[in-house]
Structure 1
Amino acid sequence: MEQLKHECGVAMIRLLKPLEYYEKKYGTWMYGLNKLYLLMEKQHNRGQEGAGLACVKLESSPGEEYMFRERAMGSGAITEIFETVQANFKDLPPEQLHDSEYAKRVLPFAGEVYMGHLRYSTTGKSGISYVHPFLRRNNWRAKNLALCGNFNMTNVDEIFARITAIGQHPRKYADTYIMLEQVGHRLDREVERLFNQAEADGLTGMEVTHYIEEHIELANVLRTSSREWDGGYVICGLTGSGETFAIRDPWGIRSAFWYQDDEIAVLASERPVIQTALNVPAEEIKELLPGQALLISKEGKLRTSQINKAQEKRACSFERIYFSRGSDVDIYKERKLLGEKLVPNILKAINDDIDHTVFSFIPNTAEVAFYGMLQGFDDYLNEEKVQQIAGLGHSPNMEELETILSRRIRSEKVAIKDIKLRTFIAEGNSRNDLAAHVYDVTYGSLVPGVDNLVVIDDSIVRGTTLRQSIIGILDRLGPKKIVIVSSSPQVRYPDYYGIDMARMSEFIAFKAAIELLKEREMRDIIASAYRKSKDQVGLPKEQMVNYVKEIYAPFTDEEISAKMVELLTPQGTKAKVEIVYQPLQGLHEACPKHMGDWYFSGDYPTPGGVKMLNKAFINYIEQMYQF
């Protein structure tokens, strides 16, 4: 119901044959460019605030441009950047357009190495200067660097302090710029090392350049530059000499998959986009492992290298619940299982009365969990039917059997998203009135005053849409009870690894726990958690403890959910409202390979996450109590 923004999507392509090969086989030397467009468009869900691409030509003469970049802002950015690139070719006569030698020599973006990026800002920083890829230019081809990534760093302040102390001067105080400077600095050092070696061996002129480009070792560059990074990341890069790399964080928080055959090597944030773009089976696509880098040399030799020691894998579970495309074979099964596992808790909420309950879902991203929930209820109803038939004895009559077998799980499309709330309407009351009409309901889809209505969502974070729109509009159908179901557990803690939920005030679960503490005269728990958190300021992040857990500790999940209902139910709602969440155990059983659950459990995978939470909690308390 509430759109969460997610930082970001990446795509990387390395053509392993000359351009003329693709012209001959596929009828165009733009094969790589076209595949990049597909990979990016298929990941459009991952970033709609901006997009960019970079390209490197492997063979160019001195004085000719060999590194190209195009970026754009807005939800139509992918189309815009590819239209801009194609504008370079639109006036060419057919014979030139299909001349791969001419393209390679003259045309921009006619290269063998491509990198694309889709951006969602989770830091509040926007503008074209923050759209990836970032470029670091130099007269030495091997020192040129294009960088993009799906990441968020939690220790930017520490890294910034250290690199400025040794004389570096990053252009901006932002993690991407700082990482660009770190990797670029180490790339410079690697090139200089090889330059000295080449000169010592008596090489001169272009021989030095060729020696550097043939011997550069990006694993060294990544090892030395990424050592201090604390956060979730997949960073991709191209050098001007055609070296290509992608590196994943040691906890495996952010995702990356790659594929190689004799024509092409590809990396993307999600597996099904590679399957679709290249028409290859899932089992041929490999996952980039935690702490590992994919390295492709100028010659096109591909290898993986363990850059940082792998930590306990804490892959982001929100990727499975919400962000990634549901067309992935494993994600589809997991989302169905998330829905199925909610059945016992829903039965409790409707007093086992499935005959007078209608099931539905909002929004579309919850559709797969909805199918899993229906399957779970079908199984439950079939068990009931078997028991009822067995209870009739050995010779039931046809009427009795028909009565039992005619029972069905009732599902309807009860709400449809109708309009997009226009942000130019700023005035509070008008805006709230419009928000109430974002969804249209399907009148007549249930029996007023008789039926319960169960609506499944993939996550409830802030609760804003529930309060402003959903509950009120569903109440118009006249249900006896509205049960809002979340296929994920209660979101209780901020994320600092690339999801736009960083402040304590955003979480309806946190607000509910604070209200319960106030109501029950337990304010001392708030004060104690604040004092303990404040005492940690200045400690090394590795020593910090999550004391926000103490805010939730006195209450059961059900008590917090009940308080949420009070906070979110609009005045005048006639139906009784209940919110049912996925238990944490249910999430782990459904997604056993993606145990990153810090937003639910408070168990952050990196010390930087605890440090950022500590800061957010202190800020919240000091603002609330006007310190």
Structure 2
Amino acid sequence: MSDAIQHECGIALLRLKRPLEYYQTRYGSWRCGLERMYLLMEKQHNRGQDGAGIASVKFDLPPGYRYVDRARSNSSTPIKDVFAEVYGHMKGLAPQQLADVEWCKANLPFAGELFLGHLRYGTYGDGSIDYVHPQIRANNWKARTLVMAGNFNLTNTPELFQLLVNLGQHPKDLSDTVTVLEKFGHFLDGQNQTLFRQYKDAGIPNIEISQLIAKNLNVPLLIAEATKDFDGGYTMAGLLGHGDAFVCRDPWGIRPAFYMDSDEFTVVASERPVIQTVMNVPASQVHEVMPGYALIVRRNGEVLHTQVREPQPRRSCSFERIYFSRGTDQDIYRERVKLGELLAPQILQAVDYDLDHSVFSFIPNTAESAFYGMVKGLESYQMEDKIRRILQEHPQTPEAVGEILHHRLRVEKVAVKDIKLRTFITQDAARTDMVQHVYDVTYGTLRPGEDTLVVIDDSIVRGTTLRESILRILDRLQPKRIVVVSSSPQVRYPDCYGIDMARLGDFIAFRTAVDLLHLQGQDDLLQEVYHRCLQENAKGIGQAENCVKAIYAPFTHQDLSAHMGKLLRHPEMHAEVTIVFQTVENLHRACPNDLGDWYFTGNYPTPGGNVVANRAFINYMEGRKERAY
């Protein structure tokens, strides 16, 4: 993606299902759980740059010993700093002492059996350490102690907050993180109190009651009650102080989660190939936490994959497939290749079927898989064209046949990502000048004034880097025309489920539509939609319709793409610019199991999405540059 878009968080949960002594003997160190947690988090570092944290729970410690440990960092190298703190407790210890599992468990933080890690990209609250997960709701009763982390964004946090206030609570913060923690905590307290009264009335001593509560907590019911009012996308993970653990997923499957279970480990992560690599297992052993389900690991090692909410029509995030997820996943790789392949007919039209005077490349680094698919699709056309020519022309000599077969795609690595801008450049003019040098080109790859340059990107969101940097740099090669191809459709609507795309005015597709309305004398439509958005949002979540669709209604997909090329062409450029976008229909062909397309269509899976879309337009019209949730 040429525009830097931040996105959803990452989680990692690991349960050691044997005593620590087993891992000391089997793997040479009781720290193998920590080592795997480091890898699970490091291989998901792309999912969160704002902070990282890890928590652990120790089993079977006597009273007076700390059984929950946590380390968090919001530095520029959070994973490194978190594990430096974890392993810092072991510095200076002799090898014999580190091998003494009983001593380590009693005296060293994080010498536990249950771990929860998190990588944060914040969409609510500031970047302070207070908002970094995991969050802890501590209590002297183990079964009331709760540790939580998640990859989520809820559209109705204010309403959920008010529900807590109506219960008589006084939450310490307005953030969705605290609200979610207290919602789970409220129902956890309720179950504890109900069970305590039941056992107390039966005459059971308090010390035995605590053990009975830990064994008989209904974790599926806890999750079902806590999440029943949630509107949004989420994967939430929790540890209970007595040793139960869970990961639950929203009913639409918006945010991802995968797990592996063996007789030694239970592992959950946001990415399937991460588990495959770290645990050295094939894809067949890694399973999806299904939408509306929870994976529950009981203290006794029992693992349940059970429904906690009524599953809804699957609307998993398609941006996961296009860009955010690791391309090493076997399905995601194939889907990205298919996205590129399906664009071939549109690209052929854009270059007037003149492949001999076209050079094909990609914008590094994430568009590479789609580029392979694009080449595959174009080569298929070229092969069909060669067969047609041979059948029609009936060449009689090897030279004549060779002349037909000689035609090949001209594929070059044209764009090179050169440097990363430093934040000390604060002046707008200086920053704009520096942006021009983020990319460089491979000189001599085009015939000046003759060739069309086709470059594929995985998505075009804001268009800023394209206009100010990439296109101007590519223009140095003196192409006759530059065709920029997006493997995703036009991003028209804000996201509200974890990806930082919440301001309509940032989207080049939206700015293009507004500019076209102005050119066609339809500015009144903006005011009309503004008042409709106000009226719809006054109805509240569950009643509001997405009024922003009316902004795009007067134009076709092709209208927006054609005008966008004019807007993205910098005045200093010589080459013409054409923009080609994926269609929504082809997106669904490439990713048939993940149909979450609200950024492109405005069809949100949850009622709160419409409210967010309307609020984003209201913010635009009122000049407020803030998130719509």
Match of 1:460 in 2: 460
Q: Is the CA contact 2:124–2:176 (under 8 Å) kept in the aligned structure 1?
A: no
The alpha carbon displacement at 1:515 in A equals 0.8
- Cα distance between partner residues in 1 of 2:203 and 2:433: 77
- Cα distance between partner residues in 2 of 1:122 and 1:190: 31
- Cα distance between partner residues in 2 of 1:205 and 1:545: 53
Match of 1:389 in 2: 390
SS in 1 for 2:623: helix
Match of 2:474 in 1: 474
Match of 2:516 in 1: 516
Match of 1:147 in 2: 148
- Paired AA for residue 412 in structure 2: E
Q: Deviations over 1:206-256 (max 9, x none)?
A: 212211111111112111111000000000000111110111001110000
The alpha carbon displacement at 1:197 in A equals 1.9
- Is 1:331 aligned to 2:332, yes or no? yes
Q: Is the CA contact 1:5–1:122 (under 8 Å) kept in the aligned structure 2?
A: no
The alpha carbon displacement at 1:75 in A equals 4.0
Match of 1:210 in 2: 211
How many residue pairs are counted as aligned between the two chains? 624
The alpha carbon displacement at 1:538 in A equals 2.0
- Cα distance between partner residues in 2 of 1:169 and 1:221: 21
Deviates more, 1:204-213 or 1:289-298: 204-213
Q: Is the CA contact 2:125–2:175 (under 8 Å) kept in the aligned structure 1?
A: no
SS in 2 for 1:375: helix
- Paired AA for residue 573 in structure 2: T
Alpha carbons of 1:352 and 1:432: their partners in 2 closer, same or farther (altered >3 Å)?
same
Q: Deviations over 1:233-288 (max 9, x none)?
A: 00000011111011100111000011101111111111111111111111121111
Match of 1:598 in 2: 598
Counterpart mapping for 1:339-418 below 5 A: 339-393=340-394, 396-418=396-418
- Cα distance between partner residues in 2 of 1:6 and 1:75: 17
Alpha carbons of 1:454 and 1:124: their partners in 2 closer, same or farther (altered >3 Å)?
farther
The alpha carbon displacement at 1:563 in A equals 1.8
Q: Is the CA contact 2:569–2:576 (under 8 Å) kept in the aligned structure 1?
A: no
- Cα distance between partner residues in 2 of 1:10 and 1:188: 25
- Cα distance between partner residues in 2 of 1:166 and 1:120: 30
Counterpart mapping for 1:34-433 below 5 A: 34-123=35-124, 125-393=126-394, 396-433=396-433
Q: Deviations over 1:186-220 (max 9, x none)?
A: 11111111211221222214212211111111112
The alpha carbon displacement at 1:90 in A equals 2.3
Deviates more, 1:100-109 or 1:10-19: 100-109
- Cα distance between partner residues in 2 of 1:231 and 1:468: 35
Q: Is the CA contact 1:317–1:596 (under 8 Å) kept in the aligned structure 2?
A: yes
Match of 2:439 in 1: 439
Q: Is the CA contact 1:146–1:237 (under 8 Å) kept in the aligned structure 2?
A: yes
- Cα distance between partner residues in 1 of 2:189 and 2:177: 18
Deviates more, 1:310-319 or 1:96-105: 96-105
Alpha carbons of 1:135 and 1:450: their partners in 2 closer, same or farther (altered >3 Å)?
same
- Is 1:535 aligned to 2:535, yes or no? yes
Match of 1:587 in 2: 587
- Paired AA for residue 327 in structure 1: T
Deviates more, 1:240-249 or 1:158-167: 158-167
- Cα distance between partner residues in 2 of 1:206 and 1:93: 38
- Cα distance between partner residues in 2 of 1:506 and 1:368: 26
SS in 2 for 1:536: helix
SS in 2 for 1:488: coil
- Cα distance between partner residues in 1 of 2:70 and 2:597: 37
Q: Deviations over 1:97-144 (max 9, x none)?
A: 112222222211010000000011233621111110011111111111
SS in 2 for 1:542: coil
Gaps of 5+ in 1: none
- Cα distance between partner residues in 1 of 2:444 and 2:47: 36
Q: Is the CA contact 2:124–2:175 (under 8 Å) kept in the aligned structure 1?
A: no
- Paired AA for residue 165 in structure 2: T
- Paired AA for residue 425 in structure 2: I
The alpha carbon displacement at 1:396 in A equals 2.2
- Cα distance between partner residues in 2 of 1:103 and 1:401: 76
Q: Is the CA contact 1:452–1:480 (under 8 Å) kept in the aligned structure 2?
A: yes
SS in 1 for 2:56: strand
- Paired AA for residue 533 in structure 2: S
Q: Deviations over 1:32-74 (max 9, x none)?
A: 1111111111111111221000100011110100000000113
The alpha carbon displacement at 1:185 in A equals 1.2
Q: Deviations over 1:292-341 (max 9, x none)?
A: 11111111111022111111110000000000000111001000000000
The alpha carbon displacement at 1:371 in A equals 0.6
- Paired AA for residue 241 in structure 1: H
- Cα distance between partner residues in 2 of 1:371 and 1:170: 51
SS in 2 for 1:453: strand
SS in 1 for 2:21: helix
Match of 1:504 in 2: 504
SS in 2 for 1:251: coil
- Cα distance between partner residues in 2 of 1:533 and 1:230: 20
The alpha carbon displacement at 1:391 in A equals 2.1
- Paired AA for residue 258 in structure 1: Y
SS in 1 for 2:547: coil
Q: Is the CA contact 2:125–2:131 (under 8 Å) kept in the aligned structure 1?
A: no
SS in 1 for 2:73: strand
The alpha carbon displacement at 1:509 in A equals 0.4
The alpha carbon displacement at 1:559 in A equals 1.1
SS in 2 for 1:443: coil
- Paired AA for residue 526 in structure 1: L
- Cα distance between partner residues in 2 of 1:490 and 1:243: 44
Q: Is the CA contact 1:5–1:121 (under 8 Å) kept in the aligned structure 2?
A: no
SS in 2 for 1:476: helix
- Cα distance between partner residues in 2 of 1:594 and 1:402: 45
SS in 1 for 2:29: coil
Q: Deviations over 1:408-467 (max 9, x none)?
A: 111111111111112211112111111101111111011111111011101100001011
Gaps of 5+ in 2: 625-629
Alpha carbons of 1:325 and 1:75: their partners in 2 closer, same or farther (altered >3 Å)?
farther
Q: Is the CA contact 1:562–1:579 (under 8 Å) kept in the aligned structure 2?
A: yes
Match of 2:627 in 1: none
Alpha carbons of 1:124 and 1:441: their partners in 2 closer, same or farther (altered >3 Å)?
farther
- Paired AA for residue 556 in structure 2: T
SS in 2 for 1:493: coil
Q: Is the CA contact 1:339–1:487 (under 8 Å) kept in the aligned structure 2?
A: yes
Q: Is the CA contact 1:2–1:464 (under 8 Å) kept in the aligned structure 2?
A: yes
The alpha carbon displacement at 1:494 in A equals 0.1
Q: Is the CA contact 2:10–2:118 (under 8 Å) kept in the aligned structure 1?
A: yes
TM-align CA RMSD: 1.3
Q: Is the CA contact 2:200–2:206 (under 8 Å) kept in the aligned structure 1?
A: no
SS in 2 for 1:521: coil
Match of 2:17 in 1: 16
The alpha carbon displacement at 1:526 in A equals 2.0
- Cα distance between partner residues in 1 of 2:318 and 2:451: 34
- Cα distance between partner residues in 2 of 1:523 and 1:363: 38
- Paired AA for residue 478 in structure 2: G
Match of 1:569 in 2: 569
